[in-house]
Amino acid sequence: AQSVTQLDSQVPVFEEAPVELRCNYSSSVSVYLFWYVQYPNQGLQLLLKYLSGSTLVESINGFEAEFNKSQTSFHLRKPSVHISDTAEYFCAVSEAGANNLFFGTGTRLTVIP
Amino acid sequence: DAGVTQSPTHLIKTRGQHVTLRCSPISGHKSVSWYQQVLGQGPQFIFQYYEKEERGRGNFPDRFSARQFPNYSSELNVNALLLGDSALYLCASSLFWGGPNTEAFFGQGTRLTVV
């Protein structure tokens, strides 16, 4: 079975500062990894995903995440955050070959002006 | 193009009642999944359907059931509602079941409150 741990439930950061949201997973099989973002009163939006290949994946709005198999991590980073990045971020894992997702408990990112 | 649509958006039910939640996937998508998101938690997988067949089931009691129709829309049914069933219920659709490039697109959810 898969599981996901997001160690930080809340991360406050000043505007234009860098941020890292941590995600660790456990699985006995090959996995796909995802980061989803949830704005207030909305559903989930896919931010980026790792399926295979390059371990560094990027989103269109400046976020990136690196798959580290030895540390079973998939941390999310952004070098300079904006007010609009304030949201809940969920790390998720699925078994390669299936697409039901296992989510972490989420990290609330609050960008302070 | 319309995204994943869920109805109703909000719902209040009494303990012991039954509820039906509905989901219309993105046009052309054949797989629908249901998730329960309790306040302050990440979504938890309930069911997945592909081509009208159940392809996966999470760790939920038999009070929870679902089905997928020929037009690929789906219903989630919950019987004998408990206070603990209060949550945001999310529906996600994807083109296929399994394998890479089967990105899940989520609807905005149905907020169920059990009183």
Are A21 and A106 in contact, with CB atoms under 8 Å apart?
no
Mean pLDDT, rounded, for A55-77: 92
Selected for mutation to probe chain B from A30, A38, A44 (highest B CB count within 10 Å) is A44
Entry field: residues in chain A: 113
pLDDT of residue B1: 60
What whole-number distance in Å separates Cα of residue A44 and Cα of residue A36? Answer: 6
Which residues of chain B make contact with A92, given a CB cutoff of 8 A? 42
Q: Decide if pLDDT at B101 tops 70.
A: no
Q: Is A61:A77 a contact under the CB 8 Å cutoff?
A: no
Q: Residue A29's pLDDT is what?
A: 81
Q: Which of A43, A49, A104 sits opposite B42 (nearest CB)?
A: A104
Beta strands A24-26; A19-21: pairing state: unpaired
Cα distance between residue A78 and residue A64, in whole Å: 6
| Out of B56, B97, B108, closest to residue A43 by CB | B108
Residues of chain B with Cβ-Cβ distance to A49 below 8 Å are 103
Measure A89 CA to nearest chain B CA, in Å.
9
Interface of A with B in 39-68 (CB under 8 A): 41-46, 49, 51-52
The pLDDT confidence band at residue B107, using thresholds 50, 70 and 90, is: very high
Write down the pLDDT at residue A30: 83
Residue B29, pLDDT > 80, answer yes
Task: With CB atoms and an 8 Å threshold, state whether A97 touches B98.
Answer: yes
